[in-house]
């Protein structure tokens, strides 16, 4: 059984191997802990803190940006990276598509939309759609952080999952191709379970006719989940 599973998983292991660490990171900093500690870590990365506005400023991905540290019950759960300088409608569409391409080419990210790529075409009237239809332009990814190289747990998890979901008799009656397809699907389930709370997404915003991109690095484990109700 394991031999067949390994064959079916050959293309997945290189990705799954990175899915062990469970906290979203921004510039290598885990999004967790207190706000004051996070601010100090961001200052060490070269950002400047403005206490009166409660915002950090600096350079990120070739842009001047403002950083906002967001907490829940004194635990950091989000870093928001906001463009400091707005641009035109045409320029923001190019920037949106460029950013999508950068994320898709970066091995640290897995698109949440597995059925297609994010992009805006030249004919899209984002000004009209945003103002009249309240349309949101956004792209979302899972962050796949560098992990321990031990994949023993993955093999054991998949073996147990196969037995519980299919049963030994049914599994052995399946063709090799069917087993490989099932193994890949289960591996994807394993991967998504590990990274589903590590969301990195961005959207276009508009203020006074100028357009901006806001990027959100979220540790959803620290978000409010109704515990205060």
- Structure confidence by residue, pLDDT tens digits, 168-222: 888 888 888 888 888 777 777 776 666 778 899 999 999 999 999 999 999 988 8
Average pLDDT of the residues in 64-91 = 97
How would you label 57-83 residue by residue, b for 16+ Cβ within 10 Å and e otherwise? bbebeeeebbbebbeeeebbbbbbbbb
CA 147-152-157 angle, 5° bins: 100
Q: What's the whole-model pTM score? A: 0.77
Where does the pLDDT of residue 151 fall: very low under 50, low under 70, confident under 90, or very high at 90 and above? low
- Give, as one character, the DSSP assignment of residue 216: E
């Amino acid at each position: 059984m394991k031999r067949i599973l390994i064959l079916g998983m050959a293309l997945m292991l290189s990705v799954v191997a990175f899915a062990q660490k469970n906290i979203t990171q921004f510039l290598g900093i885990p999004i967790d802990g207190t706000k004051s500690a996070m601010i100090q870590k961001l200052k060490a990365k070269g950002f400047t803190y403005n206490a009166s506005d409660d915002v950090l400023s600096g350079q990120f991905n070739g842009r001047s940006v403002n950083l906002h540290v967001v907490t829940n019950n004194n635990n950091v759960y989000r870093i928001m990276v906001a463009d400091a300088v707005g641009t035109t409608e045409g320029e923001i569409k190019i920037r949106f598509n460029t950013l999508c391409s950068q994320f898709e080419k970066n091995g640290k990210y897995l698109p949440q939309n597995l059925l297609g790529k994010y992009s805006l075409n030249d004919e899209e009237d984002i000004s009209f759609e945003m103002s009249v239809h309240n349309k949101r332009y956004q792209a979302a990814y899972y962050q796949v952080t560098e992990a321990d190289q031990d994949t023993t747990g993955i093999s054991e998890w998949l073996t147990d999952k196969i037995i519980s979901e299919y049963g030994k008799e049914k599994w052995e009656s399946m063709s090799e191709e069917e087993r490989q397809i099932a193994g890949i699907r289960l591996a994807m389930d394993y991967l998504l379970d590990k990274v589903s709370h590590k969301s990195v997404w961005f959207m276009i915003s508009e203020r006074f006719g100028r357009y901006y991109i806001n990027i959100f690095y979220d540790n959803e484990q620290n978000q409010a989940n109704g515990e205060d109700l």
